[in-house]
Structure 1
Amino acid sequence: MPLTLSSPAFDANGAIPVRHARDGDNLSPHLIWSGVPEGTLSFVLIVEDPDAPNGMFRHWGAFDIPGGQTELQEGFGSKASGDVRFARNDFGQSRYDGPEPPRGHGTHHYIFRLAALDVRDLGVPNDTPVEDVWHAARRHMLEETEFVGTYER
Structure 2
Amino acid sequence: MNLERPIPPDPYTLLPAVPSFTLTSPELADGGSLGEKHAFEGGNTAPSLEWSGAPEGTRSFLVTCYDPDAPTPSGFWHWVAVGVPADVTSLRDGELPEGAFTVRNDYGQPGFCGAAPPPGDRPHRYIFAVTALDTDDTGLDESATPAVVHFMTLQHVLGRALLTGTFQIPA
**TM-score in same-fold range (> 0.5):** yes
Q: TM class by shorter-chain length?
A: over 0.9
Which residue does 2:10 correspond to in 1? none
Which residue of structure 2 aligns with residue 61 of structure 1?
80
Whether the aligned pair in 1 keeps the contact of 2:84 and 2:97 (CA below 8 Å) is: no
User: Which amino acid in the other structure matches residue 128 of structure 2?
Assistant: F
**Deviation per residue, 1:95-132 (Å, 9 max, x gap):** 10010001011200001111100101211121211121
Alignment of 1:2-151 (within 5 A): 2-55=20-73, 56-76=75-95, 80-151=96-167
Per-residue deviation at 1:2? Answer: 4.3
Alpha-carbon distance in structure 1 between the residues aligned to 2:46 and 2:133: 22
- CA deviations on 1:31-72 (whole Å, 9 max, x unpaired) are 000111111100001111011011311000001000011000
What 5-or-longer segments of structure 2 have no aligned partner?
1-18
Rounded Cα–Cα distance in structure 2 between residues aligned with 1:51 and 1:144: 21
User: In 2, Cα distance between the equivalents of 1:81 and 1:38?
Assistant: 21
- TM-score when scaled to structure 1? 0.93
1 CA distance for matches of 2:135 and 2:94? Answer: 26
Q: What code does the residue aligned with 2:153 have?
A: A
Computing the radius of gyration over CA atoms, which structure comes out larger, 1 or 2? 2
TM-align CA RMSD = 1.3
Kept in 2, the 8 Å contact 1:44–1:134? The answer is: no
Change (3 A) 1:145 1:104: same
SS in 2 for 1:40: coil
Q: Using the TM superposition, give the Cα deviation of residue 81 of structure 1 relative to its aligned residue in structure 2, in angstroms.
A: 4.3
Spell out structure 1 runs of 4+ moving beyond 6 A.
none
1:144 positional shift: 1.2
Q: Distance in 1 between matches of 2:88 and 2:167?
A: 28
Q: CA deviation at 1:75?
A: 4.2
Q: Is the 8 A contact 2:126 2:166 kept in 1?
A: yes
- Unpaired stretches in structure 1, ≥5 consecutive residues: none
Verify the 8 A CA contact 1:49 1:59 in the aligned structure 2: yes
- Which structure has greater strand proportion? 1
Contact 2:117 2:168 survives alignment (8 Å): yes
Aligned length: 150
